[in-house]
Amino acid sequence: MTRRDLSRLATRTVLVLVAIITLMPFVEMLAVSFASKSEVYTGAVLPMPSLAATIANYGYAIREVPLLRYLANGAFVCGMIVLLQVLIAAPAGYALAKLPFRGRPILFGAVIVALMIPLQVPAIPLYLAIAYAGLLNSYTALILPFVVSAFGIFLFRQFFVSYPDEVLEAARLDGFSELAIVWRLMLPAARPAVMAFAMISIIVHWNDLYWPLVVVTKTSMMTPPIGLMEFRSSGDSTGHIGALMAGGVIATAPLVACFLILQRHLVRGLSFGVRT
Amino acid sequence: MNATERQRRRVGTALALPAGTLLAVLLLLPSIGVLSFSLTDYQFGMPGFDWVGLANYAKLFTDPDIRRSLFNTLLYVVMVAPLSIFAALALAILIEGEGRLGSVFQTIYFLPITATLVAMATAWEVALHPTFGMVNAALSAFGFAKVRFLSDPDTALATLAVIGVWKILGYNTLLFLAGLATIDRDLYEAAAIDGADGGWGRFTLVTWPQLAPVTLFVTVITLIRCFSEFETVAVLTNGGPSGATDMILFTLYQQAFRYFDIGVASALAVAFLLFVALLSIVQVSLFERGGAA
């Protein structure tokens, strides 16, 4: 073996080892979700999968946990958040990029400051306001704090700034209103930015635990993370480890599948800070 | 100012108004509210409150539970950040040299980015379980004693740190790969002409200095994320055993939404904000320069 082969072997060994560690919890989650209770508790490294146990585990997660309800809540909340974020951030990004209005420096300053504030800071007054308004355990409470995204405004502004002014002038001569320019020219041109932004937003809010934990206590309003956490900490889960893991698979699968299909877009979005 | 320009200004204000108003109402004003709360002894559900000056901030240094929580947070950052930054850099360089096979590893490493952490944390818990977990089974197969990873105060925080590295490693690798892709190939040839033929020479002469802005960016993001760790604590340990894994955001959550001690919670929130804001200023100034590339 030459030195080159040796270094290649070493490289691949490292890469494979890290891959095994990365995949380990995924494998454990899948394996246990396919296995019967007795298989799991005998402590086999990889319990034998069984069809009957699989049906029992996934059935329990869907019917009893109730995971379908959590998935529906999560999908609705994420969908509304992304929709409202784009509806609110895109016009503001356009105004910041292309329209000289008086409050522009103030708004841009506010966006930069807002970028630095983590949710946990305004969460306390927002919780108090929502509690006094009697809106705990509502979709409004889950959605409201996120409808305006400073990151979204900033991203759209950066994208729109480089849009050629001549095209805008031509569109205006053709009788486009400024709003029509945003929806019919800018947003379609910014599709990569919109895609990347939407995916990041969905990943963040689908997986968020902190805010739902603050405003939701009723099972009927839970999103997948808080619902799973509730199931895990209930005494019920000790007898149903397989169902708990099945719940994890169901909660995780949509985004992981999405990621595998749209990997290129997502990678571009996530590395936005490195190559703008 | 002519009519069209005046109209354009009006439209600009109208388009920016919803976002501006919501930013103020949902983010900026509540954050100022937290600053004021932190100077009071306000308790949720109580009729009134008194101004207590900096007493709540003093508590951050004197209350033994809060001090331990802040210390645990630092310990967690020290365990997770350097490892997840340098290992990611090494992995990115190894992947880049692998061509098509590299993209397979890349996809595997990225999986934790999108996965629901609450679900994955419970999967880790099962894998680490003393009687039926995969990890302890592997340990005993190699002749090691079993470890009660999450219920032993000596290992619990380190175990959360391992999960933390697992979660963030792929994302950091992704950022380094994006950074590596922007390095001009000619620089490596120039380095070769200067005699830097080996891997180490190429790294110190070209890769490391060229990646410096990306490394800074990754460091900032990693520090913020480590400092903000919440899910694994809330799901797996509840701060225990006996406070060994209590961290700043979990303490903040409990003070605010379990004990309804808004004053102390607000002081913690302000301390958290100061740290994140300082790091964010570095990050935003990188953004403003048009990113690292």
| Chain B residues lying within 8 Å of A244, measured CB to CB | 122, 126
Cross-chain Cβ contact A126/B221 below 8 Å: no
Tell me how far apart the alpha carbons of residues B36 and A172 are, in angstroms, rounded to a whole number: 47
Collect all residues with Cβ–Cβ distance below 8 Å to A248 and sequence separation of at least 6.
Answer: A29, A33, A228, B116, B119, B120, B122, B123
Q: Within 10 A of B224 (CB to CB), how many other CB atoms are there?
A: 18
| Chain B residues lying within 8 Å of A99, measured CB to CB | 8-9, 11-12, 15
Predicted confidence pLDDT, tens digits, chain B (293 residues): 577 788 888 888 999 999 999 999 999 999 999 999 999 988 887 788 888 888 899 999 999 999 999 999 999 999 999 999 999 999 999 998 887 888 899 899 999 988 999 999 999 998 898 877 888 888 888 888 888 888 888 899 999 999 999 999 999 999 999 889 888 888 888 888 877 767 788 888 888 888 888 898 899 899 999 999 999 999 999 887 988 999 999 999 999 999 999 999 999 999 999 999 888 887 767 766 654 43
What's the CA angle centered on B266, arms B262 and B267, to 5 degrees?
125
* Chain B interface, best mutation among A271, A272, A276, by max B CB count within 10 A: A271
B contact residues 121-180, partner A, Cβ 8 Å cutoff: 122-124, 126-127, 131-135, 137-138, 141, 166, 169-171, 174-175, 177-179
Cross-chain Cβ contact B171/A270 below 8 Å: yes
What phi and psi, each to the nearest 5 degrees, are found at residue B291? 75, 180
| Chain B residues lying within 8 Å of A101, measured CB to CB | 8-13, 16
pLDDT one-digit tens code per residue, B66-112 = 999 999 999 999 999 999 999 999 999 999 888 788 889 989 999 99
Each domain of chain B, given as residue ranges in start order, spans: 56-288
* Chain A interface, best mutation among B7, B8, B21, B23, by max A CB count within 10 A: B23
Cross-chain Cβ contact A116/B284 below 8 Å: yes
| Chain B residues lying within 8 Å of A145, measured CB to CB | 26
Q: What is the pLDDT of residue B39?
A: 93
Tell me how far apart the alpha carbons of residues A32 and A34 are, in angstroms, rounded to a whole number: 5
What ipTM was assigned to the predicted interfaces of this complex?
A: 0.89
Q: Could you say which of A15, A22, A107 has the minimum Cβ distance to residue B94?
A: A15
Q: What is the pLDDT of residue B1?
A: 57
Two tokens, residue B73 = 């947070």
State the first-to-last Cα distance of chain B, in angstroms, to the nearest integer.
39
State the first-to-last Cα distance of chain A, in angstroms, to the nearest integer.
44
Q: Within 10 A of B58 (CB to CB), how many other CB atoms are there?
A: 12
CB of A215 within 8 Å of any CB in chain B? no
Q: What is the pLDDT of residue A122?
A: 95
Lowest mean pLDDT across A43-57, A175-189, A247-261, B272-286:
A43-57
Q: Within 10 A of A184 (CB to CB), how many other CB atoms are there?
A: 13
User: Residue B198 gets which letter from DSSP?
Assistant: S
Residue A47 has pLDDT above 90, yes or no: no
Q: What is the pLDDT of residue B88?
A: 96
B contact residues 18-77, partner A, Cβ 8 Å cutoff: 18-20, 22-24, 26-31, 33-34, 37, 44
Q: What is the pLDDT of residue B292?
A: 41
| Chain B residues lying within 8 Å of A275, measured CB to CB | 178-179, 181-182, 291-293
Q: Could you say which of A92, A101, A112 has the minimum Cβ distance to residue B19?
A: A92
Two tokens, residue B249 = 């955001």
CB of A144 within 8 Å of any CB in chain B? yes
Please report, as a single letter, which amino acid is at residue A198.
Answer: A
pLDDT one-digit tens code per residue, A66-111 = 889 999 999 999 999 999 999 999 999 999 998 888 889 999 999 9
- The CATH T-level fold of domain B56-288 is MetI-like fold (1.10.3720)
Contact yes or no for B26/A145 (Cβ under 8 A): yes
Q: What is the pLDDT of residue A43?
A: 63
pLDDT one-digit tens code per residue, B10-40 = 888 999 999 999 999 999 999 999 999 999 9
pLDDT one-digit tens code per residue, A210-267 = 999 999 999 999 999 999 999 988 877 777 888 999 999 999 998 899 888 888 777 7
User: What is the least distance, in Å, from the CA of A42 to any CA of chain B?
Assistant: 7
CB of A124 within 8 Å of any CB in chain B? yes
User: What is the least distance, in Å, from the CA of B54 to any CA of chain A?
Assistant: 18
Residue A276 has pLDDT above 60, yes or no: no
Two tokens, residue B101 = 């096979």
CA-CA-CA-CA torsion sign (B81, B82, B87, B92): positive
| Chain A residues lying within 8 Å of B124, measured CB to CB | 25, 28
Tell me how far apart the alpha carbons of residues A85 and A92 are, in angstroms, rounded to a whole number: 11
A contact residues 249-268, partner B, Cβ 8 Å cutoff: 249, 251-252, 255-256, 258-260, 263, 266-267
Contact yes or no for B118/A229 (Cβ under 8 A): yes
Cross-chain Cβ contact B127/A28 below 8 Å: yes
Tell me how far apart the alpha carbons of residues A112 and B10 are, in angstroms, rounded to a whole number: 23
Cross-chain Cβ contact A115/B221 below 8 Å: no
| Chain B residues lying within 8 Å of A249, measured CB to CB | 119
User: What is the least distance, in Å, from the CA of B64 to any CA of chain A?
Assistant: 23
Q: What is the pLDDT of residue A162?
A: 85
Tell me how far apart the alpha carbons of residues B254 and B268 are, in angstroms, rounded to a whole number: 11
Mean pLDDT of chain A: 88
Cross-chain Cβ contact A122/B26 below 8 Å: yes
- Counting one residue from chain A and one from chain B, the pairs whose CB atoms sit within 8 A come to 326
User: What is the least distance, in Å, from the CA of B267 to any CA of chain A?
Assistant: 10
CB of A213 within 8 Å of any CB in chain B? yes
Contact yes or no for B282/A116 (Cβ under 8 A): no
According to DSSP H, which parts of A99-240 are helical? 104-115, 123-132, 139-143, 150-161, 165-173, 178-180, 187-189, 191-207, 210-215, 224-233
pTM for this prediction: 0.90
| Peptide linkage before A212 cis (omega within 30 of 0) | no
Q: Structural domains in chain A?
A: 3-57 (no CATH), 67-233 (1.10.3720.10)
User: What is the least distance, in Å, from the CA of A93 to any CA of chain B?
Assistant: 8
Contact yes or no for B52/B41 (Cβ under 8 A): yes
Q: What is the pLDDT of residue B291?
A: 45
What phi and psi, each to the nearest 5 degrees, are found at residue B197? -95, -40
Q: What is the pLDDT of residue B293?
A: 35
